[in-house]
Amino acid sequence: MQTANLVQLVRDAGVVGAGGAGFPTYKKIDARVDTVIANGAECEPLLFKDKVLMEHYAAEMIDGLRLVVQHVGASKGIVAIKHKNRKAIAAVTPHLSANISLFEMEDVYPAGDEYEVVYHSTGRRIPSGGIPLHIGVVVQNVETLYHIHRAAQGQPVTHSLMTVHGHVKQPLTAWFPVGMSYGEALQVAGGATIDDFVLLDGGPMMGKVVTDLATPVTRVSSGIIVLGRATHLAERKTQSEQAFKRIGKSACDQCSLCTEMCPRYLLGYPIQPHLVMRSLLTTGPMSDTLTHWAQACCECNICTLWACPEELDPRNVCVVTKRDLKQQGKWLSAEQLQKLAKEVHPLKSYRSVPTERLARRLGLHKFTADAPLYTEKIAPKSVAISLQPAVGLPPTPVVRVGDRVAAGELVATAQESGLSVPAHASIDGPIAAVGQSIVITNNS
């Protein structure tokens, strides 16, 4: 296949970043760079979908990587993968070539963060507030590269590879039809083994707590973890803004461990969560933090769930500070932010957070089961395909209630101008509703 039309094929197939951000992939590969990185350094405890993808679909993933390398005119492709994932390494290795190599990473969190992957595998640092493109690099999640391989054959994205873990009968990783409810996805894993639970959508560190079992799988979904509602982790993740600000204001002793362990700070970026916490003390009853020391935060949660001895929530204080900086027009430009950057911290390599110890700290060490690939056909009762993209403009429906569609058929077309990708049916059946989602009933 010629790569000249790869951008169009990838757009037509509705490919978006499967690593969590959901950025439309066609835009990301419409570039000229020297290096393309396949990011397989998945680091959230209990999520295995990237590992499973590389073990079972290495040839397809590498083909996607090769297509992108060729298209962007890069001289090399690098597969970033954790050293501990020996089966995945064994599966990928036979497909390597002169310009596609492997880079093995430590089993630490957050190894899979784009800034970390780029720094470790190329020695370059993405500028503060910048993107890999600024230093001649494109990073794609390994599942996204699999979808690029399929897009080049005219196959649209209809399923998302997702791990279901935690308090379920049979932890697994499977291709779930886009739009299937989380409740039904749990049933594929044998159902929850406890009564009073919440779901962690996207991993224990960066994922959010979800209680609505009707929440649909999207092209960005990476995993759901069933946790007891009263567990410490679930409770910490559901504290209100008022509570985490009030407690932070009264209890932060400015020990600065949150900053000292912050992965972005250790990489030399201008982020200092203890200064963000300090600003809680000085700015009135609503604790209007508004400090630019929050701006480079990647929301990894190391400060809150690993570093802080007082169990405060500097991560969420940074999150709301970033929101307020934007709302009040106080957001620094990338150039201003970059001026505040420093060299990589000399102790960076000594402050890595081992994933196994992190899982123990989070109370997840009892979940020792693997989550292997589930290969049975998954047939949900219905799907609700969301038309609200993580990034960009929503696609326009091209179907009406009562129409019958087949899996893979276009149901909403991308907007001509602006960042937008189409949506496709993930199952066969009649259209039951068209609104913010397109609902397809499975009556086969």
Are the CB atoms for 207 and 337 separated by under 8 Å?
no
Least spacing, CB of residue 244 vs ligand SF4, in Å: 10
Residue type, 198: V
Residue number, 281 or 433, with CB nearest to ligand SF4: 281
Give the CA angle between residues 391, 395, 396 to the nearest 5°: 155
**DSSP secondary structure code for residue 192 in this structure:** B
Residue 241 contacts ligand SF4 per CB under 6 A: no
- Output the DSSP codes for 347-388: TGGGS-EEHHHHHHHTT-TT-----PBP-S----SEEEEE--
Strand partners, 162: 174
Are the CB atoms for 399 and 434 separated by under 8 Å?
yes
Among 224, 225, 307, 438, binds ligand SF4 (CB under 6 A): 307
Residue 273 contacts ligand SF4 per CB under 6 A: yes
**Distances in whole angstroms, Cα of residue 278 to Cα of each of 239, 250, 282, 295, 422:** 20, 10, 7, 15, 45
Residue number, 219 or 322, with CB nearest to ligand SF4: 322
Strand partners, 131: none
Residue number, 84 or 351, with CB nearest to ligand SF4: 351
Task: Tell which residue, 141, 179, 182, 147, has the closest CA to residue 164.
Answer: 182
The C-alpha atoms of residue 76 and residue 426 are separated, in whole angstroms, by 34
Give the CA angle between residues 424, 426, 428 to the nearest 5°: 105
Least spacing, CB of residue 404 vs ligand SF4, in Å: 47
Residue 303 contacts ligand SF4 per CB under 6 A: yes
Binding mask 315-354 for ligand SF4 (x = CB under 6 A): x--x------------------------------------
User: Tokens for 344?
Assistant: 């990589």
Residue 297 contacts ligand SF4 per CB under 6 A: yes
Residue 253 contacts ligand SF4 per CB under 6 A: yes
Q: How many residues bind ligand SF4 (CB under 6 A)?
A: 27
Least spacing, CB of residue 311 vs ligand SF4, in Å: 8
Residue 255 contacts ligand SF4 per CB under 6 A: yes
Residue 393: count other Cβ atoms within 10 Å of its Cβ. Answer: 15
Quick one: 348 exposed, middle or buried, by C-beta within 10 A (0-12, 13-18, 19+)? middle
Least spacing, CB of residue 315 vs ligand SF4, in Å: 4
Residue number, 50 or 113, with CB nearest to ligand SF4: 113
User: Tokens for 321?
Assistant: 């500070």
Binding range to ligand SF4, per CB under 6 A, among 8-16, 156-164, 207-215, 253-261: 253-261
Residue 274 contacts ligand SF4 per CB under 6 A: yes
Task: Tell which residue, 129, 108, 40, has the closest CA to residue 77.
Answer: 40
Residue number, 318 or 438, with CB nearest to ligand SF4: 318
Among 256, 321, 382, 437, binds ligand SF4 (CB under 6 A): 256
CB-based contacts of 221, cutoff 8 Å, min separation 6: 160, 162, 176, 201, 202
Among 254, 327, 328, 375, binds ligand SF4 (CB under 6 A): 254
Residue number, 234 or 302, with CB nearest to ligand SF4: 302
Binding range to ligand SF4, per CB under 6 A, among 132-140, 177-185, 291-299, 323-331: 291-299
Residue number, 160 or 295, with CB nearest to ligand SF4: 295
Binding range to ligand SF4, per CB under 6 A, among 90-98, 116-124, 302-310, 422-430: 302-310
Among 188, 308, 414, 423, binds ligand SF4 (CB under 6 A): 308
Task: Tell which residue, 312, 319, 317, 322, has the closest CA to residue 255.
Answer: 312
Residue number, 60 or 116, with CB nearest to ligand SF4: 116
Residue 262 contacts ligand SF4 per CB under 6 A: yes
- Cis before 45 (ω within 30): no
Residue number, 271 or 423, with CB nearest to ligand SF4: 271
Binding range to ligand SF4, per CB under 6 A, among 256-264, 341-349, 390-398, 411-419: 256-264
Q: Which residues in this chain contact ligand SF4 in the complex, by CB under 6 A?
A: 252-258, 262, 264, 271, 273-274, 277, 297-303, 307-308, 310, 312, 314-315, 318
